[in-house]
Amino acid sequence: MSDIILHQYPQSPVAEKVRVGLGIKKLHWRSVEIPRIPPKPDLIPLTGGYRRTPVMQIGADVYCDSQCILRELERRFPQPGYFPERGGGLPWAISRWTDDRFFADTIKLVLAGQGDKLPADFAEDRGRLYMGPDWQQALLEARSELAHLSSQIRGQLAWLDDWLSSGDDFIAGSTAGVADACVYYLVWFVRGRYDGGAQLLSEFATLQEWEQRVAAIGHGSSSDMNPQDALAIARDSEIETVERYDDNDPQHLAPGMTVSVRPDVNAGEMAVSGVVRAVSSDTISLVRESEQTGQVCVHFPRIGYRVDPQ
Ligand SMILES: N[C@@H](CCC(=O)N[C@@H](CS)C(=O)NCC(=O)O)C(=O)O
């Protein structure tokens, strides 16, 4: 099998979620560092337009969104498992809370907390991505209500502290699993990127002990890769994903159909078009082609994404 290639940058919290996921399974991976703001000329040919971070590539298969990435890591490397004590349902449901409400509150606090120090190009890009078309107004408001935003995050940190106080070392039991990665990345983000983060976390002793246990898991091992080499690997590899039908698909999506996929939020992102290769309740996989990559199969989660037949 080809190497696991993670297209990412060190400061990305969502990449941190995946790095912890790689650490739980003690995997070796290759790191391609991508720009923090577009253009991303060596990433877009792989994804067909998806610009977020991180993206995982294995040969000519490209996995967009941390949800899709972690699911694929569990499928390919089942031991140690991401769901040590019970199945995947509840941890994935927790991840929808952390990626939606918890992430939205956290990113607002981190962006607003930087005040005038936030570089203009970064503010414009992230403002539009996370705060919508009226992001300038939203950012101004957020800057004037840091205490309110902190109260929103504090309440969610308190849930976690309370849950962990039940006595288990990790969120879903005595062993680390995907739920830990899905929660930890935001604690990491608040602590590392908000000036008041350490103070905000300081009242939650149990949460901080858990934070240290998750930090100690590490990220597996990694070595850097040049973006051009990653593109060459895609070009020289065959797609591994086989055709998959889902008779119960509510949209009647099926292999061979041309569709477009985009995140189900108004964030100004491009849709990705391609020909369906595989359909399931959790993933949609499209085949597409570019000069730099040849044919690749690009995978997206279903939850949080729209698939529109063309
Ligand atoms: N739902 C996505 C969210 C990814 C996301 O928003 N990542 C941030 C970085 S932490 C991002 O893409 N920022 C803009 C960029 O890197 O271009 C996932 O789980 O992967």
Determine how β-strand 28-33 pairs with β-strand 221-224. parallel
Kindly state if the Cβ of 293 falls inside 6 Å of ligand 1. Answer: no
Q: Are residues 94 and 212 in the same domain?
A: yes
The token duo for 184 is 């930890």
Kindly state if the Cβ of 95 falls inside 6 Å of ligand 1. Answer: no
Instruction: Please give the single-letter amino acid code of residue 23.
Output: G
Which of 172-185 are b and which e, b meaning 16 or more Cβ less than 10 Å from the residue's Cβ? beebbbbbbbbbbb
Question: Would you state the pLDDT for residue 64?
Answer: 98
**Residue 63 Cα to ligand 1 middle (Å):** 13
Question: Would you state the pLDDT for residue 86?
Answer: 84
Instruction: Out of 202, 217, 232, pick the residue that ends a domain.
Output: 217
Strand partners, 298: 62, 286
Integer Cα distance of 60 and 239 in angstroms: 5
Domain ranges, residue 130:
89-217
Q: Are residues 197 and 229 in the same domain?
A: no
Q: What is the CATH number of the domain that holds 71?
A: 3.40.30.110
Question: Would you state the pLDDT for residue 131?
Answer: 97
Number of folded domains that form the chain: 2
Q: Are residues 93 and 212 in the same domain?
A: yes
Q: Which atom of ligand 1 is nearest to the CA of 130?
A: 6
Question: Would you state the pLDDT for residue 161?
Answer: 98
Rounded alpha-carbon distances, angstroms, from residue 109 to 133, 134, 209, 261, 294: 18, 17, 24, 29, 41
Question: Would you state the pLDDT for residue 168?
Answer: 94
Instruction: Out of 217, 233, 255, pick the residue that ends a domain.
Output: 217
**Would the pTM count as exceeding 0.75?**
yes
Q: Are residues 116 and 198 in the same domain?
A: yes
Length of the chain, in residues = 310
Q: From the CB of residue 193, how many other CB atoms can be counted at a distance below 10 Å?
A: 17
Integer Cα distance of 271 and 284 in angstroms: 14
The token duo for 248 is 């119960």
Kindly state if the Cβ of 211 falls inside 6 Å of ligand 1. Answer: no
Instruction: Please give the single-letter amino acid code of residue 168.
Output: D
Q: Are residues 21 and 105 in the same domain?
A: no
Report the nearest-CA residue for atom 1 of ligand 1: 65
Q: Are residues 96 and 182 in the same domain?
A: yes
Q: Are residues 97 and 36 in the same domain?
A: no
Give the dihedral of Cα atoms 157, 163, 165, 169; nearest 10 deg. Answer: -100
Task: Going residue by residue through the chain, which has 310 residues, state the pLDDT in tens, using 9 for 90 and above.
Answer: 899 999 999 999 999 999 999 999 999 999 999 999 999 999 999 999 999 999 999 999 999 999 999 999 999 999 999 998 888 899 999 999 999 999 999 999 999 999 999 999 999 999 999 999 999 999 999 999 999 999 999 999 999 999 999 889 999 999 999 999 999 999 999 999 999 999 999 999 999 999 999 999 999 999 999 999 999 999 999 999 999 999 999 999 999 999 999 999 999 999 999 999 999 999 999 999 999 999 999 999 999 999 999 9
Q: Are residues 160 and 244 in the same domain?
A: no
Q: Which atom of ligand 1 is nearest to the CA of 38?
A: 17
Q: Are residues 128 and 173 in the same domain?
A: yes
Kindly state if the Cβ of 47 falls inside 6 Å of ligand 1. Answer: no
Q: Are residues 96 and 212 in the same domain?
A: yes
Q: Are residues 76 and 98 in the same domain?
A: no
Report the nearest-CA residue for atom 17 of ligand 1: 52
Q: Are residues 162 and 272 in the same domain?
A: no
Peptide bond into 309 cis (omega under 30): no
Question: Would you state the pLDDT for residue 166?
Answer: 86
Q: What is the CATH number of the domain that holds 146?
A: 1.20.1050.10
Instruction: Out of 198, 217, 236, pick the residue that ends a domain.
Output: 217
